[in-house]
Amino acid sequence: MPTFRAALAALALSIPLALPAMAQEGGTTEETQRALAAGWKATFTCSGLFVARQTQQELDQNELSGIYPDYARYFDQLPPARIDQARKTVSVDYSPLMPPRMAAYRPGFGCTQLPVGATEKAIDFLPRFAAWPEYTTQDRGSAIGSNVKLELRLEEAERLEMPVISAFDEMTYGAGTRTSSVIVVRDGQVVAERYARGVEHETPQRTWSVGKSLTATLIGAARRQGLIDIDYPAVIAAWNKGADPRREITLRHLLHMASGLDSGENGSRTDRLYFGGGRVVDQAATGILEVEPGSRFKYANNDTVIAMRALREAMADDTRFHRFPYEAVLHKIGAVRTTMEIDWNGDFISSSQVWATGRDLARIGQLYLQDGMWAGERLLPEGWVEFVRTPAPAQPADAASRGGYGAQFWLMNNVPGVPEGTFYAAGNRGQYIVIIPTLNTVIVRQGYDMIGGARFEIERFVLDVSRAIQAADADRGLAAEDLRRAAEAENAPAPRRLR
């Protein structure tokens, strides 16, 4: 019997010839580069206008600036986007020989790109909700609400003021970084909150790869409901055929970023899916195995979107599947301004294309602080929090300096002074949810940092916020001690006078 390595080598030689050209990542011609740049402009304009409700000025300074440097030249040559407010579509011309790149909005699905070369008629094929799952219940799980008022906790307010204000100065935590929101939640209560760049508490922003951690949360909720098993092989039907060794890949492998699949030189650049209107099944599920599943860490968008595709196939009911994120998790925790976008084939692009407010991200962090419980209901399985924050068997090569990886969450186990057990979600352009169990604290930072520019120094910011909270606890302890001593002095018996 041939060994696994021998079979894998033979398969690697035989499969690439059968793959469609679109399965190979990146734009290799000027025509493709222009199409992808136009796709960026169409989809971000559409989502920014109809999901986030930004003004054109805000779009220009936030979503449409600081893009991938390799697209910038083509992007700058594009004409203004054509916006149809009535139909909620955005079109961007990029070639006299091709139809414009288009994105269309539908309630609950946000904006979806049409594939390169598609005409406006293709909008009729996009999935729609027959009835959008409206949010109808009261949130009783925490004090993070749309109309929340900051609780008067003077110790935290005084200690957190300096790091929170400094996060917006475009210098302290990275020269040129562009912070749009910071929220600190302690014991389920917002204790610090600040916004900039036209963003406020009801403004959704693209999560980028923070969406990966939401994906893990949804997989956890599905497992809680018995819909899926993270160790069952052959996660999608396309891999469960003939001699295909990809049938050995499990959801656990995917969540650990250890599928072993080829995802190009940079697994976080799935441009033909993100900006080219590609389908998950074409762009993410066609890679061949490079190494044995579970043996290598490689950060890959494909692993995340395949995990969601696996949930779709397991549920075998698209209406139920599309409602699941909202009904099983998001609306349960009051995250009613979060929108998960899909490809034109109906698969969630949940590795990046999720739009959420800072408070909604804080709610996700709070759900993990509460061990997957919300308002007395268990949404995530027992042990799920521990699963996502436990180091995966295969770790990043630079884990010692960058921190380790769990299951779609990063581990902040490389920063002296940061409380042990801290884990976090991270996304492009500086999106973060940091969960600090020992301090019962969630930190959210959102931004529009320049791609390829300075990175927001989240580790140093978390260290400063942690120290501020610890100092606030010390202040509160000292104040309590002063009150105790004063009470003891007041109640002490008067000294006897000498005769």
Residues 421-428: what's their mean pLDDT?
98
In a domain, 230, yes or no: yes
By DSSP bridging, strand 377-378 and strand 410-411 are: unpaired
350, part of any domain: no
CA dist 275 and 35 (Å) reads 8
Q: Which whole-number Å values give the CA distances from 451 to 382, 417, 428, 448, in the listed order?
A: 38, 29, 8, 9
Amino acid identity of residue 451, one-letter, is I
φ, ψ for residue 422 (rounded to 5)? -70, 135
Give CA–CA dist 467/476, Å, rounded: 14
| pLDDT for the residue 476 | 81
Residue 393 lies in a domain: no
Contact 223, 239 (CB under 8 A): no
Spatial separation of the C-alpha atoms in residues 176 and 171, rounded to whole Å: 6
Q: What confidence score (pLDDT) does residue 396 get?
A: 96
Nearest-angstrom CA–CA distance, 32 and 24? 12
Q: Which residues contact 20 (CB under 8 A, 6 or more apart)?
A: 282, 286
- In this structure, the strands spanning 423-427 and 82-84 are unpaired
For residues 255-280, average pLDDT: 94
The tokens of 388 are what? Answer: 């996502």
Question: What is the per-residue pLDDT across 439-479, written as a single tens digit (0 to 9) for each?
Answer: 999 999 999 999 999 999 999 999 999 999 999 999 887 66
- The answer to whether residue 170 is domain-embedded is no
Give the pLDDT of residue 19: 30
- The answer to whether the CB of 410 falls within 8 A of the CB of 299 is no
Question: For the segment 344-365, what is each residue's pLDDT rounded down to a tens digit?
Answer: 999 999 999 999 999 999 999 9
Cα distance between residue 160 and residue 470, in whole Å? 10
Question: Kind and range of the H or E element at 192?
Answer: strand 189-195
* pLDDT-derived band at 266, boundaries 50, 70, 90: confident
In a domain, 426, yes or no: no
Measured distance CA(99)–CA(80) in Å, rounded:
15
CA distances to 309, 313, 327 from 319, rounded to whole Å, are 14, 12, 12
Distance CA 212, CA 494 (A): 66
Question: What was the pLDDT predicted at 485?
Answer: 64
HEC readout, 328-365: HHHCCCCCCCCEECECCCCCECCCCCEEECHHHHHHHH
- Residue whose pair of structure tokens reads 């389908």 in the numeric block: 279
Q: Is the dihedral angle over the CA atoms 425, 426, 427, 433 positive or is it negative?
A: positive
Q: Over 90: is that where the pLDDT of 18 sits? A: no
Kindly report which listed range (21-30, 249-258, 259-268) carries the lowest average pLDDT score: 21-30
Q: Which residue has the higher pLDDT, 433 or 139?
A: 433
pLDDT of residue 477: 74
| Residue 392 covered by a domain | no
Q: What pLDDT digit, counting tens, does each position of 310-357 carry?
A: 999 999 999 999 999 999 999 999 999 999 999 999 999 999 999 999
Examine residue 236 and state whether it is found in any structural domain, yes or no. yes
Residue 498 confidence class, pLDDT cut points 50, 70, 90: low
* Statement: residue 280 has pLDDT above 70: yes
pLDDT at residue 1 tops 50:
no
Evaluate whether residue 233 is within a structural domain: yes
Range of the domain at 72: 4-135+207-340
CA torsion, points 326, 329, 334, 337, in degrees to nearest 10? -40
CA distance 308 to 218: 9
What's the domain count of the chain?
1
Which run of H or E residues covers position 386? Answer: helix 384-389
The model carries a pTM of 0.90
Indicate if the alpha-carbon torsion angle 68, 73, 75, 80 is positive or negative. Answer: positive
Residue 450: partners with Cβ closer than 8 Å, 6 or more residues away: 65, 66, 176, 178, 429
Q: Is pLDDT of 215 > 90?
A: yes
Half-sphere exposure in the Cβ direction for 44 (13 Å, CA): 27
- Give tens-digit pLDDT for 26-44: 567 999 999 999 999 999 9
What rounded mean pLDDT belongs to the chain?
Answer: 89
